[in-house]
Structure 1
Amino acid sequence: MAQRIGGTRPGDVLSAKVNEPDTLSVGRVLRQKREQEGATLSEFAGRLKISSANLCDLESGRRTPRPQRIVQIAAALGLDAEALLELALEQLLRRERLTYKVTIVRNHLNM
């Protein structure tokens, strides 16, 4: 079920799935934070006690992290799980807003 998140104008409505983290956004945040601290894929995978391939799948959104893995990833990044998910949600909303704006521009150009 989707929850509506209101925008600034009528019709400017974004939707997000409730209780389902967007795996690509979690992965993007993970990759950004890992790269900011200068850790390689294999170094960070070692911290999580998973393979580099598994970490790559998490970062690319090909693999969905389970709740305990999200807690583990957040701790390895020096965050709590809630902060990690908030960063992922912010990224998802930015992407949705950009998609919405691109759609508006395309619709305007096709008039």
Structure 2
Amino acid sequence: MTTEKKYGSAELAKEYGPLTFGRALWSHRKCEEISQKDFAKMLGISASSLCDLEKGRKLPSVNRAAKIAKILNEPEKIWIRLALQDMLREADLRYEVSVA
């Protein structure tokens, strides 16, 4: 019998808040150890736009989320889901976007 606590997405959300597009983007950039300026250039956007996305001041369109996912060689569904969930949260609509 183990006494290890399971730590999943629900526990992470309780402790740190919900996973957002901006937080995921920031985390990806940090894990790759890329400067904001270089990451913005890689994504084809300005450094200030990247900063706004990472801080959640601006939300990406579904198309922009898909383009970013392609550039990062990541699954589009995940990044689109995060963008849509952020839009719902901003509109104070309590729906969950599921990925099929």
Give the TM-score normalised by the residue count of structure 2: 0.58
Distance 1:83 1:62 in 2: 20
Paired residues of 1:27 and 1:59 also in contact (CA < 8 A): yes
Decide which structure has greater strand share: 1
Higher-RCO chain (CA-CA 8 Å, sequence separation at least 6)? 1
Amino acid at match of 1:59: E
Paired residues of 1:58 and 1:65 also in contact (CA < 8 A): yes
Query: In the alignment, which of 36, 44, 49 is matched to residue 49 of structure 1?
Result: 44
Paired residues of 2:53 and 2:59 also in contact (CA < 8 A): yes
CA deviation map 1:25-78 (0-9, x unaligned) = 000000001110111111111012111000000010000101111011112222
RMSD: 2.4
Number of the residue aligned with 1:10 = none
Number of the residue aligned with 1:27 = 22
Query: In the alignment, which of 46, 60, 68 is matched to residue 65 of structure 1?
Result: 60
Structure number with larger C-alpha Rg:
1
Deviation at 1:85, TM superposition (A): 4.4
Distance 2:36 2:60 in 1: 16
Runs of 5+ in structure 1 lacking a partner? 1-21, 93-111
Distance 1:70 1:85 in 2: 5
Give the TM-score normalised by the residue count of structure 1: 0.53
User: How many pairs align?
Assistant: 67
Runs of 5+ in structure 2 lacking a partner? 1-17, 87-100
Amino acid at match of 2:56: G
The percentage of aligned residue pairs carrying the same residue is 34
